[in-house]
Amino acid sequence: MGPLVLLLSLAVSVLHGQQANNPTVGVRALVIGDASAMPERYLSTKKGYEILKFTNAQPSELIHADRTEKLPLFAKIPAGSEKDSYQAVQEVSLPAAAKNVLLLFWKGSESLNCFAVNDNILEANYNNWLMINTTEKPIGFLIGRGEEPFFIKPNGILKCRITSKHGGGVEVEGRAKWDGRIKTFYSTYWPIREGERSIVIFLRKGGRIKVKKISDYLLRDRTDRSD
């Protein structure tokens, strides 16, 4: 083997090693609001560009995306009979040291807004809940009679650990200040199930606060389809 061939072989080996060790971040997406008007967006992965599916019913499947300082979101540029190309159209700041993130999307008047939440679903349990308050009001939310309520700031996100056991129902109640008085705006029973946790979203609808509970199925014992 000549010196040039040996040098090229070593260069290819180093490149393959760098690609194999390229850091990744697990990414899921959840739309707050209407998902039908969302544009197509893609993530760069070791397998190429993978589409990020937009849904407001539950978080999308986990994708292991190439990790950079900021996560780029790509749009596909059709090229007719030639191979399609992809262009970065948006960058999302990632929480430091996050292994997995949940990207929260909502449509603004002129742009697609996105916020990344450090949410390690692979290590989560049924009692690791996520609460998202999109209203301008502070909210107190009780899960289980006799328990301490959780307080979610206006336009805030709270990761909380509930104490209620799975396998039964639990009383929940939401309170906020209206006209100078603390009022109950939501009261019902929710099931607590093994194998899933909940994402709770508070939305302002006219003069009311709407509560949306999303079942988020745990992934620890599942085979990731993106590998």
Out of 1.10.3470, 3.40.50, 2.60.40, 3.40.190, the CATH code matching 23-122 is 2.60.40
pLDDT-derived band at 38, boundaries 50, 70, 90: very high
Q: Which comes out higher in pLDDT, residue 173 or 84?
A: 173
What is the Cα–Cα distance from 62 to 189, expressed in whole angstroms? 30
Count, residues in the chain? 227
Cα separation of 176 and 173, whole Å? Answer: 10
Q: Model confidence over 154-176: pLDDT tens digits?
A: 999 999 999 999 999 999 999 99
124-217 belongs to which CATH class?
mainly beta
What is the distance in angstroms between the CA of the first residue and the CA of the last residue of the chain?
A: 36
Residue 157's nearest CA partner among 104, 96, 217, 91 is: 104
Reported pTM: 0.82
What is the distance between the alpha carbons of residues 113 and 37, in angstroms, rounded to a whole number? 13
What SS3 class is residue 186?
Answer: strand
Q: For the segment 85-140, what is each residue's pLDDT rounded down to a tens digit?
A: 999 999 999 998 899 999 999 988 778 999 999 998 888 999 999 999 999 999 99
Ranges of each domain in the chain: 23-122, 124-217
